[in-house]
Amino acid sequence: MVKTHVNMTVNGEAVEFLCETKATLLDVLRDELDLTGSKEGCSSGDCGACSVILDDRLVCACLVLGAEADGGNVETIEGMADADQLHPLQQKFLEEAALQCGICTPGFLVAAKALLERNSNPTETEVRYWLAGNLCRCTGYDKIVRAVMDTAEEMKGVSK
């Protein structure tokens, strides 16, 4: 078995591991680094449950090889809260019950964070298009979209 030596930064910490070519970034995060917040849904880039940020780009970790992430900077759901202080999106998802079973939630949160970092004042249409790659079979999406909009509104108030 030929393995690739990979160095990357995950949530601000340097990590180093040996990676089989076929192992995806998702496999590495979950099985090698015990970061199981990113979920495996479809494994084909359709559901968004494994959404992470790689070098400032929102990606599906199932569609990136671990080896490709060598030298990269990865942000996962585990890095979203600041110790016990939840990220405003996490807080709002809880307050507004924007989740039911929870499998899609880490992906939605990471994707929504990536959106608000680019566009702090998105329209509902922009939120829905941005999150079109994240599937949820419980909520019907309305509560998720509302929670993202309300977070944007709240964060705007804070930064004033």
Partner 1 sequence: MRYLSPHTINEAVAALADSDGDVKILAGGTDLLVQLRAGMKAPGLMLDVKRLPELRSINVEKNCFHIGAAVSGAEMGEHESLKGSWPGVVEAMELIGSTQIQGRATPGGNLCNASPAADSVPAMVAAGAICTVVGSEGSRDLAVEDVGISPGQTSLGRDEFVVDFRLPERPPHSGDAYLRFIPRTEMDIAVVGAGVNVVLGDDGVCVDARVSLGAVAPRVLLVPDAANELIGRKLNDEVLEKLDAACRAACRPIDDKRGTVEYRTQVSGVLARRAAVIAFERAGEK
Binding residues for partner 1 (CB under 8 A)? 2, 4, 21-22, 24, 43-45, 48, 51, 54, 57-60, 62-65, 67-68, 70, 111, 114-115, 129-134
Min. distance of Cβ 51 from partner 1 in angstroms? 6
The nearer residue to partner 1, 43 or 86, going by C-beta atoms, is 43
Instruction: Name the pairing type of β-strands 51-54 and 57-60.
Output: antiparallel
Q: Which is nearer to partner 1, 88 or 133 (CB)?
A: 133
* CA distances for 60 relative to 27, 106, 113, 134, angstroms: 12, 12, 15, 10
Beta strand 73-75 with 57-60 is unpaired
Closer residue to partner 1 in complex, CB, 7/94:
7
Shortest distance in whole angstroms from residue 55 CB to partner 1: 9
